[in-house]
Structure 1
Amino acid sequence: MTVLYLTRPGSELRKQRGRLQVLLRGEVLATLPIREVERVVVMTVAQISAAAAISLLKINASVLYCSARGTYYGVLGRGSGQTERWLGHVARWQDMAYRVQMAKRILQIKIRNQRSLLRRQARNHKEPLMAAAAAQIGHLLPRLDETADLPRLMGVEGRASAIYFGAFGRCIRQDGVVFTGRNRRPPRDPVNALLSLGYMLVLGEVVAALMAEGLHTGLGMLHEPAGERPSLALDLLELYRQPIVDRLTLSLVNRAVLGSSDFDAQEQSGVRLTGEGLRRYLQYYEKAMTTPFHLGHNGSETSFRMLIRQQVEAFRADLEQRQEWCPQPLGL
């Protein structure tokens, strides 16, 4: 299955005899069978014909609307069985003890992933300050078990993330590329631009998986509902920030796949990838999402894209009281 990215301003997506065509000023840039398309990601001003949109909805493919700066706008998708599942989802969401339990599971994995990434970087590059930061993060894990409400859980998460991003800059090993802390809306340096873009793309994957399972993307366990914010998708995104996005960012920067010349900086709108830089990033992102790996020592083969779907299915089973959801940290 293919994810189709529209990154060139003025692009058009049309249906032509069972196939989708990407056109720019009348020139066909790409064509592929509709049945092979899993998702379309629109990252610029582009047009999708009604026939193409209807064909995508018929095969339960989604369309993610976002920006190259990492801004999430929304997802077009059909979903399935929503009414009954939404009612069950709401009932579980109203149980605060259940929400706290699920939030603890999410944050246990996120904080362990943060610790693991820093530990590996410290071990590979003999960085005692990163090792110390990893130890500090580890000391916060018992606090999750001792905490019984969401605001305090978010406080523990905030402290862990402050320590993590305080040490993350030491993981950057490309001359001229500096990370002094997390910033966004807009991102003000290349590393933050890559983090924001990656988090938004994975968020779109999670939203699409939740919609396919008929769950309400706005009813989060950890993140409170807020307008149109996909709070539940933001909850599950926490499981994948370090294993997918942070690792990919470090790989692309430290191997100089992307450098300063691949970014544009503007005072008002911040830093973003150039057109060519974005297309290169997406190639590596797709590779990261689809490369097979084994879960654990004797686990089954999967990929990050498959794992997101599997975890959403398991999350739904827990909501429906069919099976306990037990997410596991991923080797970093």
Structure 2
Amino acid sequence: MKQLLNTLYVTSEDAYLSLKNDNVVVQQGESLLGRIPLRSLESIMCFSYKGASPGLMGKCAEFGVGLSFFSPQGRYYCSILGEKNRNVLLRREQFRFADDENEALTFAQSFIVGKIYNCRWVLERTKRDHALRVNSERIAGQSEKLRQALLNVRDCSSIDELRGVEGLAAKDYFFTFDDLILRNKDDFFFQERSRRPPLDRMNALLSFIYALLTSDCVAALQGVGLDPYVGFLHADRPGRASLALDLVEEFRPAIADRFALTLVNTGKIKPAQFEIRENGGVFLTEGGRKSVLAAWQKRKQETLTHPFFNEKMQWGLIPYAQALLLSRAIRGDLDAYPPFMWK
């Protein structure tokens, strides 16, 4: 259980939420985990399969407190919304900003600043931790290009120009990505990013993990009342969760790429857990997907100190914390959206 700003996160999968004297009571079996005044909260995000009492649901609707339910793994189920809930106004603001390129550009720049910063930090961490095993000179050169790209982001005057800067930065980052693979180089290698279909094991692994991360971002955005299909950087398309893809950008290097590299460099994923199809596409087998999913859930339980909140939290809560900050920025409670910048 953790409270950030006015949002309560209940992450114990067997916790039960109830109401007593206008307080949210969180219990785990016979143990009392916490008691929080309902009027002090704006929203509750519950990741427990036991859920909440009808009395608490009704009082949340009455007080205008958003109550959202997720599976313990982060899949979004539903939300309890009352008449006083401000999600309609929040979404109207989101749609206005998305239709105004100048406003959309400000949010998009934040996403890309977070992405490029985290890309650079992934390279710097590898150069620092494995100096004798990698091409440090090449990594340092690409890191310097990313540093310059960060400066270029600030000067962008349009979404298209920003996309151009992001595209070049991604190429500079992936140019040295193969250097970050430290073992099984004959089976796990990286030449360039390929997606539909992925053409090697590393790309197949990245694509699968990106899909998991996108799903988490969709759930997080729905939980705070934002529409995951209306974005600022990614254009609207039927069935495309554009805002979730916006949010994913800053998480790719620090969360997804590092996780993929850890699986390969520690030998937790094997070459035999991939299959090559007739069209040349490479995909994880069913057993491979199960192994990645199990490791993914374990990874999300690990903790870090959030750079904005300056509090320890699980990696799995990062998308939810950033979605909360994004909703605050759209609503006007924050001057700007602070991207997740891994330290």
Report the AA paired with residue 190 of structure 1: R
Distance change >3 Å, CA 131–CA 195, structure 1 → 2 = same
Cross-structure match for 2:182: 173
1:89-113 deviation line (CA, Å, top 9, x unaligned): 2122223221111111111110011
Distance 1:285 1:229 in 2: 24
Contact 1:219 1:232 in 2 (8 A): yes
Cross-structure match for 1:49: none
Match of 1:241 among 241, 248, 252: 252
1:204-219 counterparts in 2 under 5 A? 204-219=215-230
Report the AA paired with residue 165 of structure 1: F
Distance 2:222 2:104 in 1: 20
TM-score normalised by structure 2 residue count: 0.73
Cross-structure match for 1:154: 163
Distance 2:152 2:49 in 1: 49
Distance 2:202 2:233 in 1: 27
Give the drift of 1:298: 9.2
Moved more, 265-274 or 110-119: 265-274
Three-state SS of the structure 1 residue aligned to 2:176 is helix
Three-state SS of the structure 2 residue aligned to 1:35 is coil
Which ranges in structure 2 are unaligned for 5 or more consecutive residues? 1-10, 14-47, 53-66
Distance change >3 Å, CA 59–CA 297, structure 1 → 2 = closer
Cross-structure match for 2:275: 264
Give the drift of 1:223: 1.1
Three-state SS of the structure 2 residue aligned to 1:224 is coil
Distance 1:297 1:228 in 2: 32
Match of 1:108 among 93, 103, 113: 113
1:12-161 counterparts in 2 under 5 A? 34-35=49-50, 60-61=69-70, 77-79=77-79, 80=81, 82-126=87-131, 127=135, 128-161=137-170
Whether 2:341 is the aligned partner of 1:329: answer yes
Cross-structure match for 2:16: none
Give the drift of 1:297: 11
Give the drift of 1:323: 1.7
Report the AA paired with residue 103 of structure 1: A
Distance 1:35 1:270 in 2: 41
Cross-structure match for 2:289: 278
TM-score normalised by structure 1 residue count: 0.75
Three-state SS of the structure 1 residue aligned to 2:275 is strand
Distance 1:323 1:298 in 2: 13
Q: Show structure 1 runs of 4+ deviating over 4 A.
A: 79-82
Moved more, 269-278 or 280-289: 269-278
Distance 2:93 2:162 in 1: 25
Three-state SS of the structure 2 residue aligned to 1:299 is coil
Contact 1:224 1:231 in 2 (8 A): yes
Contact 1:218 1:230 in 2 (8 A): yes
1:184-203 counterparts in 2 under 5 A? 184-203=195-214
1:15-51 deviation line (CA, Å, top 9, x unaligned): xxxxxxxxxxxxxxxxxx84279xxxxxxxxxxxxxx
How many residues get paired? 272
Report the AA paired with residue 263 of structure 2: L
Give the drift of 1:182: 0.7
Report the AA paired with residue 78 of structure 1: C
Which ranges in structure 1 are unaligned for 5 or more consecutive residues? 4-32, 38-57, 65-74
Report the AA paired with residue 305 of structure 2: H
RMSD (Å) for aligned C-alpha atoms: 2.6
